[in-house]
Amino acid sequence: MSSTAKIEDTLRDKILSKPEIILEDQDVMKALIAANERSMGGNIVDLRGIAMERLEARLDRLEDTHRSVIAAAYENLAGTNQVHRAILRMLDPLEFEMFLKDLDGEVANILRVDAVRLVLETAQDEKEAQIKRLGDVLSVAEPGFVERYLTGGRNVPARQVTLRQMESGSKPVFGERADFIRSEACLKLDFGEGRLPGMLVMGAEDPHHFTPQQGTDLLSFFAGVFERAMRRWLS
């Protein structure tokens, strides 16, 4: 009488009728390969098994890369939708005061940032009361402030979009919120020939919200739309 256990007839018939169900089950295939290796003894190296393990490792890496690419695509799509919604909201107001209030209100909420500030360079003395009436969103600065702020005083050209992390925000820009800001996106603004530049700054309490490694295409597009909207108010 044989001591080898036999497969039940019904299970055997099912496997013979659909052998692909065994091939498609990774756990079953691993168990069969391991059993085969044990039957060969410890002195035999199964090169086929080693090759399969390496192929499985490569497949796992490919699947991880595939998931990462899909996740990045969804993230980019979500970011695009965010920027588009923020732009539509930004174009709604018919008065400049409401336009500024929306920047640090609905627009900031859509973009999921904690503060939005607009800095305008001017060579003229602005009325303090008029600036205060417009809230904390708008501040004025002397000519050259934007370039120094973006470059840190270095002799390099300022980029249109600068992303960076920090221990705390700038008091002249963020005011009372400065101590809570840990990262920012700075958008340099060009209002046209004969006008001094400006800067739109988005601040976040999360130090990883804006980092230098992130892409800037969407923010560059947002800056371009914002420049054109501001030219309407400045004309």
**What is the pairing mode between strands 138-141 and 115-121?**
parallel
Q: Each residue's pLDDT tens digit in the chain (235 positions)?
A: 444 556 777 877 777 787 777 777 777 777 777 776 666 665 665 666 667 777 777 887 887 777 777 766 667 777 788 889 999 998 888 888 888 888 888 999 999 999 999 999 887 665 444 454 456 788 888 898 999 999 887 878 778 899 999 999 999 899 888 999 999 999 999 988 888 899 999 999 999 999 998 888 899 999 999 999 888 877 6
Q: How far is CA 161 from the centre of its chain?
A: 14
C-beta atoms surrounding 95 within 10 Å: 9
Alpha helices in the chain (DSSP H): 9-17, 20-23, 26-40, 47-90, 96-102, 108-111, 128-133, 145-151, 171-174, 217-234
For domain 93-234, the CATH class is alpha beta
Among residues 122, 169, 161, 164, the alpha carbon closest in space to that of 142 is found at: 122
**Residue boundaries of the structural domains of the chain:** 93-234
- Left if phi > 0, otherwise alpha if psi is -120 to 50, otherwise beta: which for 152? left
Among residues 154, 184, 156, the alpha carbon closest in space to that of 168 is found at: 184
> Cα angle vertex 166, ends 163, 168, to 5°?
125
Among residues 79, 131, 206, 216, the alpha carbon closest in space to that of 117 is found at: 131
